[in-house]
Chain A
Amino acid sequence: MNKKFNKLYNILCVIFALIFIAAMIITVSALPNIGDATNPTNNEVSEKYLTDSSWETGSLNAVSGMILDYRAFDTLGESHVLFVATVAVFILLRRDEDSRKDLPTRCLNQSYEQAYDPILAKSLEFLIPAIFVFGIYVIANGHLSPGGGFSGGAIIGAAFILYLNAYGLESIERFCNSRTYLICSCCALLFYGLAKSYVFYVGANHLHSIIPVLADGSILASGLILPLNIAVGVVVSNTVYALYIMFRRGGFSR
Chain B
Amino acid sequence: MQILMASLLILLVILAVTIAVTKRLLPAVIIFMSYSVINSIIWMLLQSPDLAITEAAVGAGISTVLFIVAFKRMGLFEKAIDEESAKGTEKEASSKSGKEAENE
Contacts and interface: CB of A to CB of B under 8 A. Distances in A.
Interface of A: 61, 63-64, 106-107, 109-111, 138, 146-148, 150-151, 154-155, 157-158, 161, 240, 243-244, 247-248
B75 A146 contact: no
B73 A110 contact: yes
A155 B66 CA distance: 14
Contacts of B69: 244, 247-248
Contact of A158 (B48, B54, B61, B70): B61
Contacts of B74: 110
A247 B70 CA distance: 6
Ranked nearest first, the 4 interchain pairs of A and B with the lowest CB-CB distance are A146-B49, A154-B57, A151-B53, A151-B54
Interface string B45-65: 000111011100110011001
Nearest to A250: B73
25 contacts: A63-B50, A64-B50, A107-B73, A110-B73, A111-B73, A146-B52, A147-B50, A151-B50, A151-B53, A151-B54, A151-B57, A151-B58, A154-B61, A154-B62, A155-B57, A158-B61, A158-B65, A161-B65, A240-B62, A244-B65, A244-B66, A247-B66, A247-B69, A247-B73, A248-B69
B50 A110 contact: no
Interface residues of B, number: 18
A158 B49 contact: no
B50 A154 contact: no
Nearest to A110: B73
A109 B72 CA distance: 10
Nearest to A106: B75
Interface string B63-99: 0011001101111000000000000000000000000
Given A243-B66, A244-B65, A148 B57 contact: no
Contacts of A244: 65-66, 69
A185 B73 CA distance: 26
A147 B48 CA distance: 10
Interface string B4-20: 00000000000000000
A154 B73 CA distance: 22
Given A157-B62, A247-B66, 10 more contacts: A61-B50, A138-B53, A147-B50, A151-B53, A161-B65, A243-B66, A244-B66, A247-B70, A247-B73, A248-B72
